[in-house]
Amino acid sequence: MRPLFHPSIDDLTVEGILHALSDPVRAHIFAEIAGAERSQTCSAFLEVSDRTVPKSTLSQHFKVLRDAGLIRSERQGVEMHNTPRCDELERRFPGLLKAIIDAHKRQTERQRTRRRRRA
């Protein structure tokens, strides 16, 4: 297994981070990983908000998140354990992640209330 690439915190770009989180599936995955107590495997996200994500696509998504410096992935046995790099990111770009995750939360909450109102 070729060791997974993780960029140094100094090489991270805002563009990369925004691009990674501009996809709803990736944003969801990252929010979950960032909010979870323990590391999450990739296959935990084969279903995201009632939609099936093919595993090749999922693998790409994780690569994008890794390359953007948002998560760290390490193999443990047969599965991959993903953890957020929040502390480093917070030092490099203070407040950025929190603002984005908050905005996403705000949006999904609103979507829920809107849907409820329609129903």
Partner DNA sequence: GCCATTAGTCCCGGTTAATGGAACTACGGT
Partner DNA sequence: ACCGTAGTTCCATTAACCGGGACTAATGGC
Q: Give the footprint of its own copies on residues 32-91 (CB under 8 A).
A: none
Stretch that binds DNA, among 8-16, 41-49, 88-96, 104-112 (CB under 7 A): 41-49
Question: DSSP class of residue 23?
Answer: S
Residue/partner pairs of 10-14 with CB below 8 Å, 24 or more apart:
10/92, 11/69, 12/68, 12/69, 12/89, 12/92, 12/93, 14/93, 14/96
Site membership for its own copies, residue 21 (CB under 8 A): yes
Which of DNA, its own copies, none does residue 24 bind to, with CB < 5 to 8 Å depending on kind? Answer: its own copies
CA distances from 18 to 38, 64, 83 (A): 24, 11, 18
Residue 15 or 87: the one with the smaller Cβ distance to DNA is 15
Residue 9 or 25: the one with the smaller Cβ distance to DNA is 25
Contact 41/103 with Cβ under 8 angstroms? no
- Which of 56, 87, 115, 117 contacts DNA by CB under 7 A? 56
**Site residues, DNA (CB under 7 A):** 1-2, 4, 19, 23, 41-43, 53-64, 73, 75, 77-80
